[in-house]
Amino acid sequence: MSENVSHQFDRLPATEGERDVESRPTREAIVSFWVDRFGVDPETFESDTFWERGNGKIWVFAEDVETPVDIEALGMSFMRTRQEHWKPTTEAVQRFGDRATRNIIHLDREAAERFLAGEDQQLEWDGDWGYLIVTHDIAGDTEPIGVGLYVHGELRSQIPKGRRREFGGE
């Protein structure tokens, strides 16, 4: 087994059989996560490649290059897989979350604003606990905002600090 090298991007192995870094998830497992957890059609990611830089930081890239590659960024940060429960990034949910069919919690405008501001809130939810895709209605349709962690009757906003916004009662 090889070691994970933190500054370079390594393409994820397609399957377990091709894996040479022990902790590295496979492409198959990443796609299965989106299919199983959120009901996303696996064809969504058909032409994308997945990469790891740093332990458990997974990126999605629309093209392919030779692996490994030592550059600043490759596509978009997509997931964190270091912990037991895998977590999609805000960016990934905003980009691909409109294809989800389950584990979606829909908020009214006021709750959505609190979520975007980074607040945790008590909410009813009779589905699975864990990471959910948080949506609201805007401009005639539903739109994903980001990721919430639902535990013990509470939706905890996972919006990163730099993307939190307060609109001041707009």
Partner 1 sequence: MDALSRYEPIVEDYEAFLSACERPLPSVVRVNTIKATVERAERGLIEAGIELDPVEWHPHLFRLPTDQPGANWPYSHGWIHGQEEVSAIPATVLDPEPGERVWDATAAPGSKTTQLAARMDDRGLLVATDSNLGRLSALRSNTERLGVTNVAVTNEDARNHSLKPFGGEPYDKVLVDVPCSCEGTIRKNPDTLEEWSLGHVTGIADVQKAILERAIQTTREGGTVVYSTCTFAPEENEAVLDYALQAEDCRLVEFELPLMYRDGVTEWQGERFDPQVERAKRIYPHHNDTGGFFVAKLEVLG
For 27, 80, 93, 111, the CA distances from 144, given in Å and listed in that order, are 24, 19, 6, 14
Among 26, 82, 91, 103, binds partner 1 (CB under 8 A): 91
Binding letters toward partner 1, positions 30-69, x by CB under 8 A: -----------------xx-----------xxxx-xx--x
- Please give the structure tokens belonging to residue 111: 């709750």
Cβ at position 149, least distance to partner 1 in Å:
19
Among 4, 26, 44, 77, binds partner 1 (CB under 8 A): 77
Alpha-carbon gap, residue 119 to 165, rounded angstroms: 11
Residue list 112-131, contact with partner 1 (CB under 8 A):
116
Among 19, 57, 82, 95, binds partner 1 (CB under 8 A): 95
Among 75, 82, 99, 121, binds partner 1 (CB under 8 A): 75
Cβ at position 142, least distance to partner 1 in Å:
12
Q: Are 160 and 90 in contact (CB under 8 A)?
A: yes
The sheet with strand 76-80 has its strands ordered as: 10-11, 49-52, 57-61, 76-80, 87-88
Alpha-carbon gap, residue 50 to 10, rounded angstroms: 8
Task: Decide: helix, strand or coil at residue 120.
Answer: coil
> Which is nearer to partner 1, 19 or 98 (by Cβ)?
98
Q: Is 28 in the site for partner 1 (CB under 8 A)?
A: no
Terminal C-alpha separation, the chain: 55
- Residues making contact with partner 1 (CB under 8 A): 47-48, 60-63, 65-66, 69-77, 91, 94-95, 116, 138-141, 143, 145, 162-163, 165, 167-168, 170
